[in-house]
Amino acid sequence: MTADLRKVRMGLQACLLGLFALILSGKCSYSPEPDQQRTLPPGWVSLGRADPEEELSLTFALRQQNLKRLSELVQAVSDPSSSQYGKYLTLDHVADLVRPSPLTLHTVQKWLLAAGARNCHSVITQDFLTCWLSIRQAELLLPGAEFHHYVGGTAETHVVRSPHPYQLPQALAPHVDFVGGLHRFPPTSSLRQRPEPQVAGTVGMHLGVTPNVIRKRYNLTAQDVGSGTSNNSQACAQFLEQYFRDSDLARFMHLFGGNFAHQASVTRVVGQQGRGRAGIEASLDVQYLMSAGANISTWVYSSPGRHEGQEPFLQWLMLLSNESALPHVHTVSYGDDEDSLSSAYIQRVNTELMKAATRGLTLLFASGDSGAGCWSVSGRHQFRPSFPASSPYVTTVGGTSFQNPFLITNEIVDYISGGGFSNVFPRPSYQEEAVAKFLNSSPHLPPSSYFNASGRAYPDVAALSDGYWVVSNSVPIPWVSGTSASTPVFGGLLSLINEHRILSGRPPLGFLNPRLYQQHGAGLFDVTHGCHESCLNEEVEGQGFCSGPGWDPVTGWGTPNFPALLKTLLNP
């Protein structure tokens, strides 16, 4: 196509879009879309403007209906005192509830058709629509957007993003929550390998956390494994070019799984496994979910985001809205700073987590590995909460260390354990009593200007997060640490409890928090010693919140004592 013909086509397309906006709204006006990432994250570099003829996929989050009713249903099916407890909705029922209005569906589809969008596909709930466009078409569709190539992250990931805000026609603004694939950059893993502690002699000591150490600390016997016969399953999600390898899993189980029954391979991979090297984080997730939740069918959601326009976490959420039969427990080691995400995006993701809760899914998210976090607002330091850890509709898992790193002893705070108070979500009613008690009794509260005391407080629970052995790329790697380790461990133990519930004719646990807080952390070891890290300034001197008796925003209610937790959660 000649340059002149391209200009003609661009002009015609712009006219069509303008005409469509005029028909819809009666005027050619646009609304700034609130879904804008504010700054380029550290470690990312622009490689320049993208080719106008290059293809990319964009995801349109369509406005849903009946969100107040959805919230009420989450409470009803998750509260043991409710007559609807455990009566979870099917995906079809959720779709009937939240499906966008016919006007929204018609308006958005006509808008995209006029822009030349193609190969569009939706999900069962019809509230996401993913379409392919050229860069040129996307920039005409979303005035203000300007697509660039970027490279960054530890894996030198390539993405296409717009550094500038985009706008929607005013007539479209009531119908679209956000457009995915423009602004959010993949977060980097915070998993770390710590130096091995120095100690004289090793008699009676362990040399790092393995499945047998986990099982001994949390009082699991050789009989505490899945039956292999029930309709029970668990899952973890891996993003950002993170993959596991079957050969690594087999070697891990050969080295560390000899004392308990386990499954030798993942049951199902949803998505595409990459051909590159295995990632430590993905290997850790799979190996410890399958050794804690031993002998239980395990799925892995693999959303690598290899196409430069894709957002892997958004892809995972869409998969949940497009599968009617899902594992009961999902563990996710993923998070972003709350302040780096737009309100439109956070609120919509929170709705997706509500949808999962009404279906009886237990979603566990790592609390993060930066303690209370820290950032500067108008020249003043504040703690920096993480999302989705701060969502009221997930169970968030913090981290602990052994008091003696070489002995299976009581646990103390792992100083990296993420925790704090949301600046977006108010404190949910289920945790009102526990959080108020902490705020009124803690002798070590940071200055009130550092955190939003009325926000959703997290984590809810914790598990060991320090000093794990992992096999990655055929090599056993010691002293791997992070809440990416504690989260699959806690998830695996909940899967074992689901096994007992299913075999006795009861529904799976579902969204755990209302029950967890009603029972005041029964079945958990209370972690009462230690503080996590925060801002390195004279006012707080690197100290965030500190643990204490009962719930706290460092280790939640504590770590699992499996026999007691099973007894607590088995009935009703």
Q: pTM of the prediction?
A: 0.90
**Judging by DSSP bridges, how do beta strands 461-464 and 468-472 pair with one another?**
unpaired
Catalytic residues: 281, 285, 484
**10-40 residue pLDDT tens:** 444 444 444 344 334 334 455 555 555 456 7
CA distance 312 to 332: 12
Out of 157, 180, 203, a domain closes at 180
Residues 114 and 156 in one domain: yes
550 annotated ligand binder: yes
∠ CA 73-74-80, rounded to 5°: 100
Residue 84 burial (CB count, 10 A) = 13
**Tally of domains in the chain:** 2
Same-domain check for residues 366 and 438: yes
CATH number of domain containing 398: 3.40.50.200
Pick the more confident residue, 342 or 129.
129
373, 468: one domain: yes
Residue 6 lies in a domain: no
Q: Check pLDDT > 90 for residue 69.
A: yes
Reported as a pLDDT band with limits 50, 70 and 90, residue 165 is confident
pLDDT in tens, 506-539: 999 999 999 999 999 999 999 999 999 999 999 9
> What's the confidence (pLDDT) of residue 12?
42
User: What mean pLDDT comes out for the span 394-407?
Assistant: 95
pLDDT score recorded for residue 5: 40
247 and 298 in a single domain? The answer is yes
Q: Which two tokens stand for residue 278?
A: 């295995």
Regarding whether 559 and 478 lie in a shared domain, the answer is yes
- 169 and 215 fall within a common domain: no
Does residue 308 carry a pLDDT above 70? Answer: no
| Same domain flag for 289 and 388 | yes
336 marked as part of a ligand binding site: no
Q: What is the mean pLDDT of residues 363-392?
A: 95
In a domain, 84, yes or no: no
Residue 11 inside a domain? The answer is no
pLDDT at 18: 46
Does 135 map to a domain?
yes
210-to-67, 245, 288, 303, 466 alpha-carbon distances in Å: 43, 19, 9, 27, 11
- What does the pLDDT read at residue 196? 55
Question: Tokens representing 443?
Answer: 């002798």
Q: Do residue 406 and residue 532 come from a single domain? A: yes
| Overall average pLDDT of the 212-223 stretch | 97
* Structural domain includes residue 21: no
3-state secondary structure of 96: helix
Domain boundary among 180, 195, 224: 180
Among 156, 138, 217, 164, smallest CA distance to 33 is for: 164
Asked whether the bond before 459 is cis by omega within 30 degrees of 0, the reply is yes
Distances (CA, A) of 466 to 17, 395, 463, 540: 55, 20, 9, 24
According to the annotation, is 466 in a ligand binding site? no
To the question of whether residue 51 is assigned a binding role by annotation, the answer is no
> In this structure, what token pair is assigned to residue 526?
């209370």
Does the residue 206 lie in any domain? no
pLDDT at 203 over 60: no
Q: Domain residues for 472?
A: 211-569
Write phi, then psi, for 329 (nearest 5 degrees).
-120, 130
pLDDT digits (tens, 9 = 90+) for 403-457: 998 899 999 999 999 999 999 999 999 999 999 999 999 998 999 999 999 999 9
| Residue 197 belongs to some domain of the structure | no
Q: Does residue 194 lie within any of the structural domains?
A: no
Name the burial class of residue 278, with classes exposed (0-12), middle (13-18) and buried (19+) by CB atoms within 10 angstroms of its CB: buried
